[in-house]
Structure 1
Amino acid sequence: EVMSMVPIGAAVTDGYNAGHGLPFDSEGMKARYPGVFFSQFTGAELVADKWNLSRQDLDNFALESHQKAAHATESKYFDREILPVEGRNAEGMNDLVMADEGIRFDASIEKLAGLKTVTEGGVITAGNASQITDGAAAVMVCNDAGLNKIKANPRAEIVSISVVGDDPVFMLTGPIPASFKALEAANLSIEDMDLYEVNEAFAPVPLAWASDLKADKSKLNVNGGAMALGHPLGATGAKLMTTLLHEMERREANYGLQAICEGGGTANATIIKRL
């Protein structure tokens, strides 16, 4: 996902020119939600308000994200999962990128508190929202026949997967019902999960998730999340799963849960078991 080169929604106009409607522009959506402006920023503000999350709550969580990501980087936790990429730095010199560049190693609550909110009177800022990021990730998923064919030893098995549609106005709360559904399908509880990766699209998302799931926040995004590491949209789901599995292996954990919200109020959750 090359967000620095391709604007968000760049392909929407192609579909529109081909006769397809714009997202949220159908007659059915207009009838059901008259006068509603669909926006992730609006959704983030709505989530913060509904779950009584203050600006300080969000900034504190954002600071923790940077601190955890900085610690994981300095401790070389990411070394096994990051593939170094050759490129050029700002001076035009050849450079080898071996770490995420969005982490603020000098992050402080004072700096976060000094950022302007996206909307007047709101609580969402650039600091407690995910970063626009370039990124790529890959995950291999095989059935038994595939494993036998390539003679591979699996590192984990998928226990359950869920996909849900939730309120398109709040838009970002889907990971909550998706996680409940995945846990129910697996006949497991949130207490059975050793780690969880819930995408930090905005700080209210994982905080609301943790509140409703009654999850132990010490197990949540333990090496930082998208506010520190970035959210390269289409690549983020695979990135979260990659990070989850590597950290499960490092800790010799048994179960992990990954959840991510998506445009329009949809979301998915996946539970894996380390082998």
Structure 2
Amino acid sequence: GETAEQMAKSWGINREQQDALAHRSHQLAAKAWEEGKLSAEVMTAYAPPFREPLEQDNNIRKNSTLADYQKLRPAFDRKHGTVTAANSTPLTDGAAAVILMTESRAKELGLTPLGYLRSYAFTAIDVWQDMLLGPAWSTPLALERAGLTLADLTLIDMHEAFAAQTLANLQCLASERFAREVLGRSQATGEVDESKFNVLGGSIAYGHPFAATGARMITQTLHELRRRGGGFGLVTACAAGGLGAAMIVEAE
């Protein structure tokens, strides 16, 4: 949270922008559930006190308005801050799994792949400044290794640790100055098309059970690619310790 505050101040991201992204995340996640897009990916769970089954994500604010987000007070920098509980991802319980194998092994087992891994990249930066810029560092590497550009992607799914962190990464991906002076690259990765970005909502709405988030993002992206007739998707996330991860997946 303190890092998100630092990034909001450093990159000029205001409270209104953060609340708007959080509201969008919840609205899109609610719509995805209403349209039945997630039911095939989620299993019913039973948890104490076992009074009723858990069939859907229970963190999603289905009927919230943008004005609701503006009522919350800052959670970290209580005097001058803009990061609140509403524009941050909650820590939730959850589990997820994906099976990764070679295509030849899948054929031997009679399995039909949900999708393919085209490339991946991991990065690490100093933790003292902009610790959560992992996607801005790892994405250009993954794209380069896949032989693709941002424009070639059908979908982009970025982990929403905080709205401020997400917006800072989007800003850096589009920044020529960041590309040259920080990454040592000749040009920016590119501006992200909002119509391709976190189209089913993101971690602010679904929550963030640490080890399960990546598997959720991969699964959602591959299913949505298949619904759209195939294509390439970027799945990318930041992590504590200055880590960044990016993966290019493909579905037919």
Equivalent AA in structure 2 for residue 231 of structure 1: H
Look up the SS of the partner of 1:270 in the other structure: strand
| 1:93 positional shift | 5.5
- 1:175 paired residue number: 135
Structure 1 partner of 2:181 = none
- Moved segments of 4+, more than 4 Å: none
Match of 2:119 among 160, 181, 187: 160
Matches within 5 A, 1:117-266: 117-118=74-75, 119=77, 120-169=79-128, 170-213=130-173, 214-266=191-243
- Structure 1: give runs of 5+ residues left out of the alignment: 1-40
Deviation at 1:56, TM superposition (A): 0.5
Instruction: Give structure 2 stretches of 5+ with no counterpart.
Output: 174-190
- Contact 1:210–1:216 (CA<8 Å) still a contact in 2? no
What SS does the aligned partner of 2:46 have? Answer: strand
Q: TM-score, normalised by structure 2?
A: 0.88
After TM superposition, list the pairs within 5 Å mapping 1:95-114 onto structure 2.
95-114=52-71
Q: Report Cα offsets for 1:207-256 as digits up to 9, x if no partner.
A: 22222331112211111111111011111111111111111111223000
Q: Is the 8 A contact 1:129 1:202 kept in 2?
A: yes
Where does residue 45 of structure 1 map in the other structure? 5
1:36-77 CA distance string (max 9 Å, x none): xxxxx1211122122211001000110111111111111111
Q: Does the CA-based 8 Å contact 1:182-1:269 persist in structure 2?
A: yes
Per-residue CA deviation, residues 110-155 of structure 1 (Å, 9 max, x unaligned), is: 2111111021211100000001211111111101342233221212
When normalised by structure 1's length, the TM-score is 0.81
Distance 1:102 1:176, change over 3 A: same
CA distance in 2, matches of 1:218, 1:53: 21
Structure 1 147/211 Cα, relative in aligned 2: closer, same or farther at 3 Å? Answer: same
Work out whether residues 103 and 113 of structure 2, in 8 Å CA contact, stay in contact via their aligned partners in 1. Answer: no
Output the aligned Cα RMSD: 1.4
Which structure would you say has the larger Rg?
1
